Amino acid sequence: MKLDSAKALVMHHEGVRRRAYDDATGKVLKPNQTLKGRLTIGYGRNLTDRDLADSEIEMLLNNDLRRCQREAEKLGPWWQGLNAPRRAVIVDCLFCLGRPRFLRFRKMRAALAVGDYQEASVQLLDSKFGRTHGTRVLRLAEILRRGEYLDE
């Protein structure tokens, strides 16, 4: 049997869902909603009692990072002036916060636009993100300030 034939059957029977849903109800889960069946996504992929393979985890991360990179490239002309470590900080922030929350960092983005990396670092630290994400934000702020990755 060729897997392509089985794949076509599964795709036909399952249909594709881009958001996680409860396979017992077919409904997309809302925050804090009780799951009646199994958490499922895509073409019936059970997420409740199956681990992801390392390759799947890596693929998901790479896709997310590519999305964050595209979002960063649209932030403004200042993005082009950043070196690789500072760009990595912005992508990390977009990954963790999401674009809408990242866009609330107006003062940090304004400082980046004029190349004031010390102020951008201060603004990153002086935020709810800075107060709730501990060493992650301390590290990001230091990379932003120095413009180089930290030796650890």
- pLDDT tens per residue across span 46-68: 988 888 899 999 999 999 999 99
Runs of H (alpha helix) within 54-126: 54-73, 84-97, 99-102, 106-113, 117-125
CB neighbours (10 Å) of residue 38? 16
Query: pLDDT, tens digit, for every residue of 117-145?
Result: 999 999 999 999 999 999 999 999 999 99
- Which pTM does this prediction carry? 0.85
Given a cut of 90, whether residue 3 has pLDDT beyond it is no
How much is the average pLDDT of 1-14?
83
pLDDT given for residue 55 in this prediction: 96
Task: Provide the pLDDT confidence category of residue 32 given band limits of 50, 70 and 90.
Answer: confident
Close Cβ partners of 87 (under 8 Å, ≥ 6 residues apart) = 72, 79
**Cβ neighbours around 125 below 10 Å, total:** 18
Span 87-102, average pLDDT: 97
Strand bridging mode 39-42 / 17-22: antiparallel
For the chain, domain boundaries? 3-46, 54-146
- Does domain 54-146 fall into CATH 1.10.530? yes
